[in-house]
Amino acid sequence: MFVEIESFEEFLKLKESEPALLAYFSTEACNVCKVLKPKVNELIRSEFPKIKLAYIKSDILPEVAAQNQVFAAPTILVFIEGREYIRKSRNIGISELQCEIERPYSMMFSE
């Protein structure tokens, strides 16, 4: 389930405290974002349950988007231990995203 970010400080705290974080940047006017968001949610919930999901409205929190150099919607950033590992923007394929997350996720959370 996505946590909606309310401030830049909240985003930084989440990024620092969570071992793995997927940040989903979107705008109110983006129709692709509205279709993609539930698919990303389902993928993470079923395949990568230890990744925390954050939702950032770029039009409401432009400072969070700017600090992360996000200038297009939708943009997905995956952070592992506070470092950016994956950056996807605009045309995002779910299977492609899954393949890119698998390796760092398995290294991070393997038993």
pLDDT tens, position by position, 63-90: 999 999 999 999 999 999 999 999 999 8
**pLDDT(62) > 90:** yes
Q: What is the pTM of this model?
A: 0.94
Average pLDDT, the chain: 94
Residue 41: Cβ within 10 Å count? 16
Domains of the chain, each with CATH number or no CATH: 2-109 (3.40.30.10)
Looking at residues 98-108, what average pLDDT do you find? 92
In the three-class reduction of DSSP (H, G, I as helix; E, B as strand; rest coil), residue 93 is classed as coil
Confidence of residue 111 (pLDDT cuts 50, 70, 90): low
